[in-house]
Amino acid sequence: MSSEDVKKILERLKKYTDEITSSKEKALQALIDAGLVKTNGEPTDLYKN
């Protein structure tokens, strides 16, 4: 992987991070999509203590 590839990936990650953290609703939806939390905000079974 070239340094140019790394730079492009980092730019895409920053853009995605800025987008999903722009509102509480978008952040929650990102966590739901990733399977980390349920729609009510509680952790999924895999992530409960």
Higher pLDDT, 14 or 1: 14
The count of domains in the chain is 1
Rounded to whole angstroms, how far apart are CA atoms 32 and 30? 5
pLDDT digits (tens, 9 = 90+) for 16-46: 999 999 999 999 999 999 999 999 999 999 8
pTM for the whole structure: 0.74
Rounded to whole angstroms, how far apart are CA atoms 18 and 23? 10
Find the domain containing 36 and state its range. Answer: 3-47
Among 8, 26, 7, CA closest to 18: 26
Higher pLDDT, 11 or 48: 11
Q: What is the pLDDT of residue 23?
A: 97
**Chain position carrying tokens 């730079």:** 7
pLDDT digits (tens, 9 = 90+) for 2-14: 999 999 999 999 9
